[in-house]
Structure 1
Amino acid sequence: MQKLTSPEYNTFSCKAAEFDSKLCWFDDDCILDMDHFVKRLSSIKEKGVRPDLIGSIITHYASKWLPELSDSQILIAIAKESPKSVTTSWMKKRFFVETLVGILPPEKESIPCNFLLRLLRIASMVRVEPAYCAELEKRVSWQLDQASLRELMIPSFSHTCMTLLDVELVLRLVRGFMNLDEAVRSGAALIKVVKLVDCYLAEAAIDSNVTLSEFVTLASTLPGHARTMDDGLYRAIDTYLKAHPEVSKQERNMLCKLIDSTKLSPEASLHAAQNERLPIRTVVQVLFSEQNKLNKRILDYSGYCSGMLSPNTALDAPAKCPSKHEINLQKREIKRLKEDVLRLQSHCMTLEGHIEKLMEKNKRFFIWKKIGIPTFGGNKIEEIEKEGELGIVKTKTPKKWRKSLS
């Protein structure tokens, strides 16, 4: 039988010989079965089989030796794992993962993204060589829009990282996606990645060890125009503020600058207007944005109704005449919008009044703190500050007349 000399087989043979010369930790059946699989896979590739079929063969075979890679057998595999030495199990998984990465087809979508993420999770856990991790990260970045939130939540296995989730890994994946060609990372793919990142931020924000710089960097990696709605980003920021009550006022302002108030839904705007964790400036911006939206809708409805009632409508193109019921519905909608505008205006005036009271209170406190009126004996010293000069005026306290006893 002719011996195959493909690059995948040579890579596998060298790796197996290297591990076998150091330690005999692996079962013979594992190495022999892997050897046989690499040979058969090389012969299949030489016959010109499609890359997606090659990828399905690899994913199906990988679930035999690494059940954690199977979508439905993760918990079962963990529960039935044999009580071997931890070092033996880790070395065996590292050998298998590195061998799998070496035989993956080079085509972009030949391997599902979720399978690659599970493989990357195991690679991070067993500390495979950095070159293999970089290859997996590059392949995941190619099809990050197909990833699921469950598979993206890879734990942090580094002893130097204090967070529960590997935020730095996700940041590298997103940056790799943004470095792709514009034709690949635009349109529906970019929108899916934005939604995925916003959901990931909402989950990572619960961890109290996630720093503000990590959160802001990951949130601002994606362009602002990619978000059609900022509800997901607002939810993530609100979760972060709730889990990090020690955040300062300047840091809150920096976080809230990421939100575009014009891209919030009415439900999110209503929640933001009543959110005490947000800065006052952000709340006012949300209220003014909602007021502008309502004014625009009122103008659109008014123009539509005036166009229907115009005497020159006969000169225009023939259109369907609205029924009386539709006109009544439109009138009620306009009335409701006007009431909403008045309610928002009243709310804005109330907030402005509160702000003025706070400013006046701070101003009074500042003045009384500067002007002290201590009393020493019978003299009263008043400190008066005029035009930058401090004058001291001494006034004698008038003596009280004693009542005559006669």
Structure 2
Amino acid sequence: MDRLPSPDSASFLAANCWLDDACIADIDYFVKTLSGIKAKGVRPDLIGSIITHYACKWIPELSGEPSSPVDTDHQPPPESATASWLKKRFFIETIVSVLPPEKDTVLCSFLLRLLKNANMVGAGSNYLEELEKRVAWRLDQATMKELMIPCFSHVRGTLLDVELMSRLVKRFVEINLEGLRSGAGLFKVAKLVDAYLAEAAVDSELALPEFMELAGAVPAQARATDDGLYRAIDTYLKTHVNVTKEERKTLCKLIDSQKLSIEASLHAAQNERLPVRSVIQVLFSEQAKLHSHSNWSRSITNTKSPSPKIGSGPPDRCHSSRDIMTLQQIEIKQLKEHVNKLERRCHLMQSQIDKLVEKKRGFFSWRRLATSANLGAVSVDVADERGEGKGYDSGSIGKQTPVKGKQGRSKTPKPWRQSTS
């Protein structure tokens, strides 16, 4: 190729078609051609697309698509495994060395596939470090599928390269703390880490320090909710049954019980794998949430405006309408549960009151019956005395009746006393 296309020409914008020419058959010649293109002042994003297309052409695994069937008629003679491995390693190292210095010129998915293959062929440490820096810079754009990089080390027995993931997350957090990137991507990375931990926790060879190191690599404020972290920890405890009580306590300290949803809190309250202290903290947190939401709703009803301001309630993590609607739905659900509890207590108290009233009614009816029987006996005695002609008036009858009743009972002892004599 004697003449390179102009950077502003239409032929250069169709760089992918130009690279399909059979003249580019050697990587050394490709590097020289790429250097000439850079000297023309081509934009870095176009150079990145050229490198991506060329790499995917010679290593189909880098494209992320299923490989097409091989044409055996025009296939070159097979090489030995060692020669193929060395050739692939040299090619990957060369591709890394010609990447533009700007870190936003190549997609993160392509960089992750390149990093996976570089680990597979055992590329040099300086090339791996350069790839890790570039991936960490755009980690918030990664997908869960591309992050599942196997562990190719003979020393560690885990299925996934958890240490590599920890290094990427730590680099990304450092970049955000330095203010080089916006903090919005930190929430995406936190979700990716929790999902990654849930997948890695199934591996029985994953040690507790590695799990905790990756879980603690994300700042606590980056997690809007700890449901994903709780799921990962529960999966780890379910797989690793030999974890001691102290290790369980240390692991559960990573969870903020105040950031758990209602569903996660209910699951944690009945989870036998968690320490008792963690379960108690979850219960106390739910009780505190219920009181705070009930107080907040009570204050809202007392205000004149029907729609509360964002700053009038409990502190929100985000001020978006979606978060406010979610918070209102949670509040309504908790209030319904609280009302149902109060109704059950009212029904229980009402049933107890009814039982007490029935007991009192039975007691007073029996007392009236006994009183009426005694009055009937007294009237009979008075009638008998009147028949004897003793001439008592109405006033003396009331005074003498109890005495005569006693005398009558003493004169005529009951039959059981006679039987005993």
Which TM bucket (shorter chain)?
Answer: 0.5 to 0.7
Q: Which residue of 2 aligns with 1:64?
A: 57
Query: Cα 1:75–1:127, aligned 2, differ >3 Å: closer, same or farther?
Result: farther
Query: Cα 1:334–1:70, aligned 2, differ >3 Å: closer, same or farther?
Result: closer
1: CA distance between counterparts of 2:334 and 2:91?
67
Q: CA deviation at 1:133?
A: 0.7
Q: Which residue of 1 aligns with 2:48?
A: 55
Preserved contact between residue 145 and residue 193 of structure 1 (Cα < 8 Å): yes
1: CA distance between counterparts of 2:98 and 2:226?
41
Q: Which residue of 2 aligns with 1:215?
A: 211
Among candidates 130, 139, 142, match of residue 137 of structure 2 = 142
Q: CA deviation at 1:43?
A: 1.6
Q: CA deviation at 1:334?
A: 7.8
2:45 aligned partner, one-letter code: D
Q: CA deviation at 1:95?
A: 0.9
Query: Cα 1:33–1:282, aligned 2, differ >3 Å: closer, same or farther?
Result: same
2: CA distance between counterparts of 1:123 and 1:272?
41
Q: Which residue of 2 aligns with 1:338?
A: 338
Q: CA deviation at 1:288?
A: 1.3
* Higher alpha-carbon Rg: 2
Aligned 1:77-88 pairs, distance under 5 A? 84-88=79-83
Among candidates 34, 42, 53, match of residue 41 of structure 1 = 34
1: CA distance between counterparts of 2:210 and 2:23?
41
Q: Which residue of 2 aligns with 1:294?
A: 290
Query: Cα 1:31–1:163, aligned 2, differ >3 Å: closer, same or farther?
Result: farther
2: CA distance between counterparts of 1:237 and 1:227?
15
Among candidates 179, 186, 191, match of residue 187 of structure 2 = 191
Q: Which residue of 1 aligns with 2:159?
A: 164
2: CA distance between counterparts of 1:298 and 1:81?
75
Preserved contact between residue 269 and residue 282 of structure 2 (Cα < 8 Å): yes
Aligned 1:1-40 pairs, distance under 5 A? 32-40=25-33
| CA RMSD between the two structures | 3.2
Q: Which residue of 2 aligns with 1:243?
A: 239
Identical aligned residues as a percent: 58
- SS state at 1:281 partner: helix
- SS state at 1:258 partner: coil
Q: CA deviation at 1:340?
A: 6.4
Query: Cα 1:74–1:189, aligned 2, differ >3 Å: closer, same or farther?
Result: farther
- SS state at 2:206 partner: coil
Query: Structure 1-normalised TM-score?
Result: 0.67
1:202-253 alpha-carbon deviations (Å, 9 max, x no partner): 1111100000000111111121111111111111101100110111111111
Structure 1: gaps of 5 or more residues: 5-28, 310-328, 346-406
Deviates more, 1:30-39 or 1:334-343: 334-343
2: CA distance between counterparts of 1:299 and 1:62?
61
Q: CA deviation at 1:307?
A: 3.2
Query: Cα 1:100–1:342, aligned 2, differ >3 Å: closer, same or farther?
Result: farther
1: CA distance between counterparts of 2:175 and 2:95?
25
Q: Which of the two has greater strand per residue?
A: 1
Preserved contact between residue 170 and residue 217 of structure 2 (Cα < 8 Å): yes
Query: Structure 2-normalised TM-score?
Result: 0.65
Q: Which residue of 2 aligns with 1:17?
A: none
Structure 2: gaps of 5 or more residues: 5-21, 306-328, 346-421
Q: CA deviation at 1:338?
A: 2.0
2:227 corresponds to 1:234: no
